[in-house]
Amino acid sequence: MMNRNNENLTVTIARQIIAAIAALFLLSLFFSAQDAVAEDTSTFDMDNWNGETVILEDPQYFMEIEDDDIPVISSVGKTNVKIRGVQSKYKLVNYTIPEQLLRADPDFLALMVEAEKYIGYPYVYGASNPDTGFDCSGFVCWVFNNSGVCDVGRTGANGLYSLCSDVSKANARPGDLVFFEKTMGADVKGITHVGIYVGNDQFVHASTYGSGGVLLTALNGNPYYSAHYIAARRMG
């Protein structure tokens, strides 16, 4: 009788051990799958994006936005607008913001939807709305205030600078602000110009250079703005 009891106990323990091993195996499979998903979804890290063109094909890397909700943000086909007799003489650069950058950040998408409306508008010192034209800070303030991203009020380039935190030029991402100095003369101190970085070495701004206007310009590729660049900063 004792032997039979011992045999039954051994069988019970063996079954419990087998069940525990099976449970541990299934648990390891679950966590392995979670790790794989985490590894895959980190392929495109907006915080550490280096500014290079990104090509993403797997839908899991995108925000859950319907295709029809992603507009084409482009300067292609835009013309210079005359407001109250003022018109920019700049030739507008044709540039289309890559869809994957718009998908990666809803705030950047909102900023660009608003900013695109005013490409070609004239530069007017002190102006800050579509009825009058824009100066550089007036344009940036209008875009942030009317995109719904955040309310910055109406302030100048130095005021916008103070609302942001530092990021390196190499780590600037779409939606960050880029700041310049001495664009109003070598004797004018402090921040004198500001624009919104859109990726791929482009920024959108109400330019003070020449006859001025809202347009896209290369950050590093334009000798004038490259020479006057002072900082990139992130709102918030």
Active-site residue flag, 228:
no
- 8 Å CB contact between 180 and 194: yes
Between helices 136-147 and 106-116, what is the axis angle to 10°?
120
Active-site residue flag, 205:
yes
Calculate Rg over the CA atoms of the chain. Answer: 27
Q: Which two tokens stand for residue 177?
A: 């602000």
Query: Which residue is listed with tokens 């950040």?
Result: 105
Catalytic residue among 136, 141, 150, 164: 136
Whose CA is closest to 167, among 232, 108, 220? 232
Q: Which two tokens stand for residue 74?
A: 């482009």
Catalytic residue among 141, 150, 164, 205: 205
Pairing type for strands 164-167 and 133-134 reads: unpaired
Write out the catalytic residue numbers. Answer: 136, 193, 205
